[in-house]
Structure 1
Amino acid sequence: MQPFEHVVTEHGPTVLRVCRALLGATDADDAWSETFLAAMRAYPELPEGANVEAWLVTIARRKAIDVHRARSRRAVPVAETPEQVSPHGVPAPPEDGLWEALRALTDRQREAIAFHHLAGLPYAEVAALVGGTPAAARRAAADGMRTLRSTLQEHAR
């Protein structure tokens, strides 16, 4: 098994992209950190030959669910928070409408896009994460991408 530090270096950017897609730029860094803290604790028990990236994306998804649950229980103190830049990639500027378009998607569409297009997981693994069949995961991703393209084209006009 490779050292955990190598796992973070190799898969950190993918996990951050997934966290940003599921949570937005504001909460993504915290979810990323929580993902790797949980993964570090469980890493010694990970079976040899396991798909580490899919395992990390599963943990990130669960951390995102935790953030959504916590967010629903706390008051929002400000109307808008500034974007924070990370060394793992710069989020799109707020004025391009991407974050609003992502938030407008259904949870299933947003997760299917994040897991397949950002994390590179095959639809069979996406289906295992979100539930349903690989065909349903493919459909959710396709519908979400069509909605994103349409929304972003309207925003550009």
Structure 2
Amino acid sequence: MLNDYAELVKKSLAPMIRQYGFQFAQLDSDEMFLIGKGFALYVFIDRRDRRGDIWYVSLDPKGIIRAHTLMYVFADRFTSMDRAAAGYPLPQEATDEYIAATFRVANKGLLDHCHDILSGDKTWLNGYQDQEGESSRHIARFLAPYFRRQGYYVKSEEE
């Protein structure tokens, strides 16, 4: 098991990072962000379950940062061709190779089917099963300075 997953994430998601000009920012050894204009993708490794995941982080009109699972988007929009990006045979589950494969699949599926999400168009959230998202202090604390530097209002914890 890797101690720091940043290089694995950067390599697996490099095409998406390049194409959309995301800024890579690392919170810790297994939590990172791909920061776009007024939104971010939260990329993390669940060490207990030994899997990788990507969530969408929005900034709502009231300045509140919210995290939204993308699992419904993955299930709805991704195809078997996207899943083939993992390679064959599939890496053994709960390994670093498996985590890298899940990010390769996410990279391919997001690039092929999710321009709206990757470009920061928030209209896809209308009617989405996780439309409200959830508030997370540690995510908000980390991303607030990035969004403020972009000129966005971010509600402070004291407000």
TM-score scaled by length of structure 2: 0.32
Structure number with higher strand proportion: 2
TM-score scaled by length of structure 1: 0.33
Structure number with higher helix proportion: 1
